[in-house]
Amino acid sequence: MAKSYKNFIAGEWVAAEGGASYENRNPADHGDQIGTFAASGPGDVDRAIASALEGFRMWSRVPAPRRGEALKRAGDIMTEKKEELADGMTREMGKPLVETRGDVQEAIDTAYYAASEGRRLFSHTAPSELPDKAGFVLRRPAGVFGIVTPWNFPIAVPSWKIFPALLCGNAVVWKPAQDTPWSAVQFVEILVEAGVPPKAVQLVTGFGSEAGAPLVADERITGVSFTGSTEVGCRIAGVCGANGKRVSLEMGGKNAQLVMDDADLELALEGVLWGAFGTTGQRCTATSRLVLHDRIHDELVGLLVERASKLRLGDGRKKDTEVGPLVNEDAREKVETYVRIGQEEGATLRAGGRRPEGLDEGWFYEPTIFTGVTPSMRIAQEEIFGPVLSVLRVGSLDEGLEVVNGVRYGLSSSIYTRDVSRAFRAIDRIEAGITYVNGPTIGAEAHFPFGGVKDTGNGHREGGWPVYEFFTDMKTVYVDYSGRLQRAQIDTWSPQ
């Protein structure tokens, strides 16, 4: 019988109100039930927020270096449990073990980076305009944050949000994706074991409409950090705006790899295979458009089709698997819909485009490549979130940059070239939050900012130092030790 998992509210593992639950199954094997999980509702969210407010009052008084030590211990525990976590994450969401190991390592890196920030949390200081007066700025904990995370990086992405939020002295109420609740339970268990006060972190599993919506709307929440689709993110922004909450959004992408005629084609080939079909194309930074200079188009397409057709699909826990399943039935049906759209639009299907034989027990789909794609086609404009690559042909760098920028999104981008002037022109002109030179569109590092422009985000960044600005309030302090009334902008100083 499958194990039953619960919410974490007020320091206890508790069932959802009314006992509602749902099944979670392995996307590579429908018959493998991972467990049943609490299907939370508004009542569960209400209790979690009330407890988090108590947790905030306690945790916010702990010195930041001490908070960092708890996060350092969380990183140590994840290091010890890395294989166990990776295996469970692959079973839960499908990507191969080599990728889930990287997912855990990213969370470990983020834990250690956050721990170091506990001894800094740098702010600003400046000289006063008046004599015998000092001015400086402090970072202060802001309150209780709602954390809403996706399934494709079930530990890494939550770590980008939860570790900085906790390091800054906040409490969090976390609603993870409904497809990856097991990973969330493990993450919370690690936090509590590491010494984070139980009421500083709350976990409510379940569905967006029943648990996510009331969390976002609750007036006691200081702010919301969300990663997911642009459509959902914009709705969250509207709710937060109406209530005066801060909100950080990391949303969709339609990322392009531009390959010029002077590029190392073998390097570019390896990059697009990893960027387009790693995580089965289910990354916000996945390479979904390949923009090729006319002179190397046919050669690189030939190499790409040959290599993509040989990628090994299967259960991500098997040693030779290179591409796992899609996360669920809806995801595969969405991919199939876009493959039909691409064909109807007149693009040429060069590889894939079907369910593989012999893998009927999971949500598998072959790596798919379209050529003859034009910039206005839906498969070149809309986020598919699956193993579908659209190849576009251009005649120059200027035309290539125009194609790269010709979408509503602006998350990640890539250019392959040996010409430094071309590389820097691309860096300057590409409308994206991230640009790689001679690397694929995926591969973020924990100590650099992550996020995008246009319909990808609302200006905030995760990772690196900017995220600590989102999770803190700024307090300006003035200390007048002159012993007399001094009036800024009115009294002036003159030499005696």
pLDDT tens, 451-477? 999 999 999 999 999 999 999 999 999
In a domain, 311, yes or no: yes
Query: Are residues 171 and 28 both part of a single domain?
Result: yes
**Which amino acid is it at 336?**
E
In a domain, 406, yes or no: yes
- Residue 386 lies in domain: 255-437
> Given a cut of 70, is residue 496 above it in pLDDT?
no
Whose CA is closest to 228, among 184, 276, 165, 284?
284
Query: Are residues 213 and 343 both part of a single domain?
Result: no
In a domain, 389, yes or no: yes
Boundary-marking domain end, from 409, 437, 465: 437
3-class DSSP state of 486: coil
Query: Are residues 137 and 238 both part of a single domain?
Result: yes
In a domain, 2, yes or no: no
pLDDT in tens, 228-242: 999 999 999 999 999
Segment 43-53 mean pLDDT: 98
pLDDT band at 494 (very low <50, low <70, confident <90, very high): confident
Residue 250 falls in the annotated catalytic set: yes
DSSP letter, residue 211:
I
Query: Are residues 209 and 301 both part of a single domain?
Result: no
Chain mean pLDDT for the chain? 97
pLDDT in tens, 97-116: 999 999 999 999 999 999 99
In a domain, 350, yes or no: yes
Residue 284 falls in the annotated catalytic set: yes
Q: Which of 99, 250, 366, 462 is catalytic?
A: 250
Query: Are residues 79 and 101 both part of a single domain?
Result: yes
Query: Are residues 45 and 188 both part of a single domain?
Result: yes
Query: Are residues 271 and 170 both part of a single domain?
Result: no
Domain harbouring 288, CATH code = 3.40.309.10
33 vs 29: CA distance, rounded Å: 9
pLDDT in tens, 123-137: 889 999 999 999 999
Query: Are residues 197 and 50 both part of a single domain?
Result: yes
pLDDT in tens, 400-420: 999 999 999 999 999 999 999
Token pair 């839906």 in the structure block, residue: 378
Query: Are residues 274 and 231 both part of a single domain?
Result: no
Give every CB contact of residue 257 below 8 A, 6+ residues apart in sequence: 268, 271, 272, 275, 287, 289, 290, 291, 413, 414, 415, 416, 440, 441
Q: Which of 99, 106, 210, 284 is catalytic?
A: 284
Number of domains in the chain: 2
DSSP letter, residue 462:
B
3-class DSSP state of 273: helix
In a domain, 278, yes or no: yes
Segment 70-80 mean pLDDT: 98
* Whether pTM exceeds 0.85: yes
**Which amino acid is it at 471?**
F
Query: Are residues 301 and 166 both part of a single domain?
Result: no
374 vs 380: CA distance, rounded Å: 7
Query: Are residues 413 and 467 both part of a single domain?
Result: no
The whole-number pLDDT of residue 267 equals 98
Query: Are residues 81 and 171 both part of a single domain?
Result: yes
Domain harbouring 120, CATH code = 3.40.605.10
pLDDT in tens, 319-378: 999 999 999 999 999 999 999 999 999 999 999 999 999 999 999 999 999 999 999 999
pLDDT in tens, 248-287: 999 999 999 999 999 999 999 999 999 999 999 999 999 9
In a domain, 328, yes or no: yes
